[in-house]
Chain A
Amino acid sequence: MFRYLLKRLWHTVYVVIGISAISFFFIHLSGDPVMLMLPGDASMQEVEHLRQKLGFNDPLYVQYWRFISKAVRGDFGESLYYHVPAMELILERLPASLELSFAAMFLALLVAVPIGIISAVYRGSALDMGSMLAALFGLSMPHFWLGIMFIMIFSVKLGWLPTSGRGTPAQLIMPAVALALGLMAMFARLTRSVMLEVLSLDYIRTARAKGLREFFVIGKHALKNALIPLVTVAGMQFGLLIGGTVIIETVFAWPGVGRLVVQAIFNRDYPLVQSIVLILALIFVAVNLLVDILYIYLDPRISYLEDE
């Protein structure tokens, strides 16, 4: 167990360093934000002065070192655009992102897993075909299109839900559902195929042969095994979801991290972009670590000393 944790820790460290380096060098390739920070009639002298002041004239590795050495002390710099500490901005937005991601993930699993199981059990039935076809449709709709359709239908036509923003639970419904549909389709397909595999295994047949009730067989034996790949994929998706919802956030004016970071990229707000990428990577790694630990609980046969 100790060796395993050590390995995971090493994994976290190199992933985080790697990501911070990639994002750092990449965004700096795009030039510096000084021109953007000053109005059009600013003189070249003013530009040069600001550039000097913000340290953009130093070689890249010096700038990177400065960033890293400050970051390990918890100082992620000040946003060039908002003039407040980058971390403060992120922490303000993170709850909204987590809320949306949790809601979407929960909703997706809540609907998709039963559908997947039923489709697997009644394989080849009209129900199976229908739901799998529906899942394919769910995969083929662009998020923004879905989001705007929702607004048109549920806010403008029917007047049931507020168009956008955050604050009341009602405002969470549309973005969460729009985000969940794609995931739902993915999970339903996944659950179905995993269940099909598990259901054909020997011990399920044994269980059935022993005369256990079908519901019990599926619920207890099959599902538990099917959960492993499901948890893996869900964990991975969750990690990506937090920063990857920019389109839904834009359509529904949801104040999450995704929109913050995209704007920061556009504005070349370096300290902010770097900090967000770092935080997102940490979350991703942490979620996957959690998934690994969950494995052990789900399937004691899995050794945490698996060799790579």
Chain B
Amino acid sequence: MTPNASSLYQYSVERLGPPLRLMADTIQEVARRSSALWGGIMLCIIFSTSLLFPLFYEVDPLAQDLLARFLPPVWLEGGSRSHLLGTDNLGRDVLARILYGSRISLSVGFSAVLLGEFVGIILGLVSGYYGGKLDSLIMRTADIFMAYPFMLLTISVIAVLGNSMFNLILVLGISDWVIYARTIRGSVLSLKEKEFVEAARAAGTRNLPIITRHILPNVISPLLVLGTLRVANIIIWESGLSFLGMGVPPPAPSWGRMLADGRLYISDAWWLVTLPGLAIMLTILSINLLGDGLRDALDPRLRNVSN
């Protein structure tokens, strides 16, 4: 950047409203770290592929061809041009399934985190801001949830409700609320005593506006970081649930399910486990790289809280 452009940039950033400025600062901070930048770029590519793939790859991920099972990827002997990454045990196109699966895995991961954050934010704000009996009730409940084996909770909920995608998002999201609520509560406690909050209160502003206007915007960034990192965990855990037969129900090809189903053919058709496995790994790697970058940029205090 030339000095001129740089000052112009600074100028334009300063003219933005606080939320936008925060965003611009964050992007700048993140972009300064090469690993985070790479993570961000990779994630952008993954996202846009996931959104746009129907434009350039129009194969039905569910279409079976029982006569063309276990076709290897195109570069291997016996591979076919029409199935670039080969076919699975029912003759379905692996590439189409991986592309389609990206939508499922990413939406499970992100929706669950959003849901968890939503619940966590509300409970954390209430707990931190109002304090007293409500606070101790919420925090005691949080203690209980912390000690409840997370895995057992998920499995028993799915066993009861059945494994639809909605239920999966619900249970994965809800079981995560404690982490968010505790983080938020901590920030709110320290913020509550700050001058501008006191000032707003003295001016007769009611509680709800204080919370939404003054407190929330200032405690949200740690959650962004935490949430990003949790998405990765949830995608992994969904694959674990698929292994136990409780993931996203078939025929929807989540990456986890592809991996779990493919394991039975691990020695005959390595591409069935390796390729979706790579997709998971790349995605999680980029989420983590970006998340680490975000954390450093936004909130150095959070360094110890990863995972």
Q: Say yes or no: B281 contacts A143, CB within 8 Å.
A: no
Contacts of B155 in A (CB 8 A): 246, 262, 265
In angstroms, Cα B152 to Cα A149, docked, is 25
Within the complex, the shortest CB–CB distance from B243 to chain A, in Å, comes to 4
- The verdict on B304 contacting chain A, using a C-beta distance below 8 Å, is yes
Contacts of A14 in B (CB 8 A): 140, 143-144
Q: Say yes or no: B159 contacts A266, CB within 8 Å.
A: yes
Of the stretches B11-19, B46-54, B82-90, B260-268, the one at the interface is: B260-268
Within the complex, the shortest CB–CB distance from A163 to chain B, in Å, comes to 13
Interface residues of B in 19-36 (CB under 8 A from A): 35
In angstroms, Cα B157 to Cα A145, docked, is 24
Contacts of A246 in B (CB 8 A): 151, 155, 244
In angstroms, Cα B8 to Cα A243, docked, is 57
Q: A145-B259, A266-B159 are in contact. Are A22 and B144 (CB under 8 A)?
A: yes
Q: Say yes or no: A143 contacts B159, CB within 8 Å.
A: no
In angstroms, Cα B263 to Cα A266, docked, is 23
Interface residues of B in 223-246 (CB under 8 A from A): 232, 236, 239-240, 243-244
Q: Say yes or no: A139 contacts B284, CB within 8 Å.
A: yes
Contacts of A285 in B (CB 8 A): 147
In angstroms, Cα B35 to Cα A143, docked, is 26
Contacts of B160 in A (CB 8 A): 26-27, 29-30
Interface residues of A in 228-260 (CB under 8 A from B): 229, 239-240, 243-244, 246-247, 250, 258
- Closest B residue to A157 by beta carbon equals B267
Q: Mark B287-307, 1 if CB is under 8 A from A, else 0.
A: 011000000000000011011
- The verdict on B285 contacting chain A, using a C-beta distance below 8 Å, is yes
- The verdict on B164 contacting chain A, using a C-beta distance below 8 Å, is no
Interface residues of A in 265-289 (CB under 8 A from B): 265-266, 273, 277, 280-281, 284-285
- The verdict on A148 contacting chain B, using a C-beta distance below 8 Å, is yes
Q: Say yes or no: A140 contacts B236, CB within 8 Å.
A: yes
Interface residues of B in 257-285 (CB under 8 A from A): 259-260, 263, 266-267, 273, 277, 280-281, 284-285
Q: Say yes or no: A265 contacts B159, CB within 8 Å.
A: yes
In angstroms, Cα B157 to Cα A27, docked, is 8
Q: Say yes or no: B306 contacts A189, CB within 8 Å.
A: yes
Contacts of A196 in B (CB 8 A): 303
Q: A262-B155, A265-B159 are in contact. Are A139 and B148 (CB under 8 A)?
A: no
Q: Say yes or no: A136 contacts B266, CB within 8 Å.
A: no
Q: A139-B232, A244-B150, A250-B244 are in contact. Are A144 and B260 (CB under 8 A)?
A: yes
Q: Say yes or no: B288 contacts A139, CB within 8 Å.
A: yes
The one of A29, A140, A261, A265 in contact with B232, judged by C-beta atoms closer than 8 angstroms, is A140
Q: Say yes or no: B144 contacts A145, CB within 8 Å.
A: no
- The verdict on B149 contacting chain A, using a C-beta distance below 8 Å, is yes
- The verdict on A197 contacting chain B, using a C-beta distance below 8 Å, is yes
Q: A152-B267, A190-B306, A229-B304 are in contact. Are A247 and B143 (CB under 8 A)?
A: no
Q: Say yes or no: B150 contacts A193, CB within 8 Å.
A: no
Q: Say yes or no: A194 contacts B147, CB within 8 Å.
A: no
- Closest A residue to B233 by beta carbon equals A139
Contacts of B284 in A (CB 8 A): 136, 139-140
Q: Mark B247-260, 1 if CB is under 8 A from A, else 0.
A: 00000000010011
In angstroms, Cα B14 to Cα A22, docked, is 51
Contacts of A27 in B (CB 8 A): 156, 160
In angstroms, Cα B157 to Cα A15, docked, is 20
Contacts of A70 in B (CB 8 A): none
The one of B243, B277, B288, B303 in contact with A136, judged by C-beta atoms closer than 8 angstroms, is B288
Q: Mark A115-149, 1 if CB is under 8 A from B, else 0.
A: 00000000000000100000011011111110011
- Closest B residue to A246 by beta carbon equals B151
Contacts of B212 in A (CB 8 A): none
- The verdict on A105 contacting chain B, using a C-beta distance below 8 Å, is no
- The verdict on B141 contacting chain A, using a C-beta distance below 8 Å, is yes
Q: Say yes or no: A190 contacts B152, CB within 8 Å.
A: no
- The verdict on A19 contacting chain B, using a C-beta distance below 8 Å, is yes
Q: Say yes or no: A280 contacts B149, CB within 8 Å.
A: yes
Within the complex, the shortest CB–CB distance from B40 to chain A, in Å, comes to 15
In angstroms, Cα B51 to Cα A299, docked, is 52
Contacts of A244 in B (CB 8 A): 149-151
Q: Say yes or no: A193 contacts B147, CB within 8 Å.
A: no
Q: Say yes or no: B243 contacts A142, CB within 8 Å.
A: yes
10 pairs of residues in contact across A and B, judged by CB atoms under 8 Å: A30-B160, A140-B232, A140-B288, A141-B277, A142-B277, A144-B239, A186-B306, A246-B155, A247-B240, A280-B149
Residues of A within 8 A of B (CB): 11, 14-15, 18-19, 22-23, 26-27, 29-30, 129, 136-137, 139-145, 148-149, 152, 156, 186, 189-190, 193-194, 196-197, 229, 239-240, 243-244, 246-247, 250, 258, 261-262, 265-266, 273, 277, 280-281, 284-285, 308
- Return the 4 tightest CB-CB contacts between A and B, nearest first: A18-B144, A140-B284, A30-B160, A243-B149
